[in-house]
């Protein structure tokens, strides 16, 4: 923690303004770093990638990564490539999840899904390209090239949490549970892999690049896991209670396809309680050193929409 000078950060009275500003920074970085070379032979592939990547989004994972960095006074510039990499991974997962063979969804981030707009083959390839590009970005990151041991760790975290110790496994569990009876423990396991893993990666990479001590790194992991589960429970609740217009994706889809969700397993009221419980666990994990209160504030923000 004491490794780097704490940069002066104005007290964030207005969290919303802060989040909007950070998301705009991520949008600028994405627009600059995920851009075709001048004479690309595959302009339509890049178009499909950018169509999905730059569609309006909260940029929750990269913003969280920056918030961790800010908590330890790390220069934001260090995170430029890694923050874009995690958003590329997140976007690839949305594109592939929406495919007809998977969730068969047509609306995403308020726009037609990638395969609706560009065709199924191009959507598969745009997803593959974004996933691969995430690692290309890590390989091009000046900070990670100056600190290659951290670079390898960031790569490993991203690969584990996006893949076989995380997201892809979660996607399989999610599909396998469709239409079957599920209890809370089962849903929690799915959430942990499907959603919490990549949110945890955002926190872990934030910590690695800030070069925090091992015990802080562990706390960040615990924070990310709990926050990620809270995040997915809220997402499931909103699927039931909000309109497609508000969500930017098809509402009521979970009920229709009998997804494994907390509302289905334990009802809406207990689902709300569970979300709050996981939010409190997240806060407890970092309470000793979240001096700016930023990580607490983010956790509160996640559950605000179901208050």
Please report, as ranges, the residues that interact with a second copy according to CB under 8 A.
Answer: 40-42, 44-46, 92, 96, 99, 101-102, 119-122, 124-125, 127-129, 131-133, 135-136, 138-140, 144-145, 148-149, 151-153, 155-156, 158-160, 162-164, 168-169, 171-173, 175-176, 189, 193
Q: CB neighbours of 181 closer than 8 A, spacing ≥ 6?
A: none
- Residue 95: name the closest of 57, 137, 145, 150 by CA: 57
- Residue 65: name the closest of 9, 23, 17, 4 by CA: 23
Residue placing its CB nearer to a second copy in the complex, 45 or 297: 45
Residue placing its CB nearer to a second copy in the complex, 140 or 215: 140
Rounded CA-CA distance 155/82 in Å is: 9
Shortest distance in whole angstroms from residue 138 CB to a second copy: 7
Rounded CA-CA distance 216/287 in Å is: 11
- Residue 229: name the closest of 268, 288, 184 by CA: 184
Other residues' Cβ atoms within 10 Å of the Cβ of residue 63: 21
Residue placing its CB nearer to a second copy in the complex, 17 or 146: 146
- Give the DSSP H/E element, type plus range, for residue 135: helix 120-140
Residue placing its CB nearer to a second copy in the complex, 205 or 306: 205
Shortest distance in whole angstroms from residue 65 CB to a second copy: 18
CA angle 170, 274, 281 (to 5 degrees): 85
Shortest distance in whole angstroms from residue 184 CB to a second copy: 16
DSSP string, 248-304: TS-TTHHHHTT---HHHHH-HHHHHHHHHHHHHHHHHHHTTT-TT-HHHHHHHHHHH
DSSP string, 209-260: HTT--HHHHHHHHHHHHHHHHHHHHHHHHHHHHS-HHHHTS-TTHHHHTT--
Residue placing its CB nearer to a second copy in the complex, 182 or 302: 182
Shortest distance in whole angstroms from residue 283 CB to a second copy: 28
Shortest distance in whole angstroms from residue 89 CB to a second copy: 9
Residue placing its CB nearer to a second copy in the complex, 11 or 121: 121
Residue placing its CB nearer to a second copy in the complex, 128 or 273: 128
Shortest distance in whole angstroms from residue 147 CB to a second copy: 9
Residue placing its CB nearer to a second copy in the complex, 10 or 41: 41
Residue placing its CB nearer to a second copy in the complex, 138 or 295: 138
Shortest distance in whole angstroms from residue 26 CB to a second copy: 20
Shortest distance in whole angstroms from residue 22 CB to a second copy: 26
Q: Which residues pair with 108 in a beta bridge?
A: 111
- Residue 163: name the closest of 210, 229, 113, 96 by CA: 96
Shortest distance in whole angstroms from residue 70 CB to a second copy: 26
């Amino acid at each position: 923690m004491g490794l780097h000078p704490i940069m002066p950060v104005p007290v964030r009275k207005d969290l919303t303004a802060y989040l909007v500003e950070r998301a705009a920074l991520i949008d600028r970085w994405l627009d600059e770093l995920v851009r075709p070379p001048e004479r690309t032979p595959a302009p339509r592939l890049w178009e499909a990638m950018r169509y999905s990547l730059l569609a309006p989004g909260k940029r929750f994972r990269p913003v969280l990564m920056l918030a961790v960095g800010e908590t330890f006074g790390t220069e934001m510039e260090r995170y430029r490539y890694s923050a874009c990499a995690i958003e590329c991974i997140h976007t690839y997962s949305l594109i592939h999840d929406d495919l007809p063979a998977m969730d068969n969804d047509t609306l995403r981030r308020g726009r037609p899904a990638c395969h609706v707009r560009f065709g199924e083959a191009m959507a598969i390839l745009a997803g593959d390209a974004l996933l691969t590009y995430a690692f290309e970005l890590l390989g091009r990151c000046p900070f990670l090239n100056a600190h290659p041991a951290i670079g390898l760790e960031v790569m490993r975290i991203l690969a584990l949490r996006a893949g076989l110790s995380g997201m892809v496994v979660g996607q399989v569990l999610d599909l396998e549970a469709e239409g079957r009876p599920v209890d809370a423990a089962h849903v929690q396991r799915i959430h942990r892999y499907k959603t919490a893993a990549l949110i945890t990666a955002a926190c872990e990479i934030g910590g690695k690049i800030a070069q925090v001590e091992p015990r802080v790194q562990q706390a960040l992991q615990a924070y990310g896991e709990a926050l990620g589960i809270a995040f997915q429970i809220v997402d499931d609740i909103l699927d039931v209670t909000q309109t497609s217009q508000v969500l930017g994706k098809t509402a009521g889809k979970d009920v229709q396809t009998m997804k494994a969700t907390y509302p289905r397993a334990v009802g809406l009221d207990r689902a709300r309680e569970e979300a709050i419980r996981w939010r409190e666990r997240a806060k407890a994990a970092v309470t000793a050193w979240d001096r700016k209160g930023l990580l607490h504030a983010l956790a509160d923000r996640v559950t605000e929409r179901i208050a």
